[in-house]
Amino acid sequence: MSSADAVSIANRSFNFLTKLFKNLGNLLLLIVLNVIPVVNFIVLGYFSRVLRHDLEEPPELRAEEIGGMFVDGLKVFLAVLLFAIVPLLVFFALAGPAIFLAILQGGPLQPFLFLAAVAGAVAAAVLVALAIFFFALPQLAIMIRTDDFGKLFAFGEGWSLIQAFGLGNYILLFVILLGFNLAVTAVLQVIPYVGSAIAGVFTEAFAFKALSYLVNLKYPVPPPPAR
């Protein structure tokens, strides 16, 4: 594969995202669901179905499928939470002593050193999170495609998928996904109350469709769900 493949995947994923606007009622419902904590697992499950069945058109939300989508979304949330544990531990290990002392003393005695310690802990946690999710995204894609939570820990399969795509190509795709997420979130964050929910729908549509194209390299698409 050439390095252009990552760009091609990004272009096709963005094209999928734009198709959300074909059904504005469906898009509005996704945004509303994404505003509500826990209920927003349905949106995660919705885009998980896109990844699992490699759908080229955003499906219409159906009442009878909401429960299944919620369960799918909960699985994705738990998977991401598992991968986030190590960065959180890194943050608390580095910033914890400074925060604990500040609580005992009613505030930091040396604010600059306190802020530096917390900022350093945040930076370290972010770097660890990026490293973990660099390798975790293929695992997540395989888990969703196979509907097998155990695949989340099949690290050999994830690395094999990266190798099939090409390491350089995958690095480029990872940077595109990260950049798109940050850019869309930053732009839409200015909209009060619902900006994050709107951004979440768009970034999930882009990322899950891109991962669908990635996982297609080694994992067949299961039959579409019966309607």
Backbone angles phi, psi at 132, to 5 degrees: -65, -45
The confidence band for 2, taking pLDDT boundaries of 50, 70 and 90, is very low
Residue-wise pLDDT for 51-108, tens only, equals 999 999 999 999 999 999 999 999 999 999 999 999 999 999 998 888 887 777 766 6
Structure tokens at 91: 């943050």
| 0.85 surpassed by pTM | yes
Percent of the chain with pLDDT over 70: 95
The pLDDT value recorded for residue 4 is 54
Mean pLDDT of 176-194: 93
**CB of 117 closer than 8 Å to CB of 94:** yes
The pLDDT value recorded for residue 192 is 86
- Residue partners of 203: CB distance under 8 A and separation at least 6: 180, 181, 184, 185
The pLDDT value recorded for residue 128 is 97
- Judged against a pLDDT cut of 70, whether residue 227 lies above it is answered with no
- Judged against a pLDDT cut of 90, whether residue 225 lies above it is answered with no
Residue-wise pLDDT for 17-47, tens only, equals 999 999 999 999 999 999 999 999 999 999 9
Structure tokens at 103: 């609580």
What are the sequence ranges of the domains in the chain?
4-215
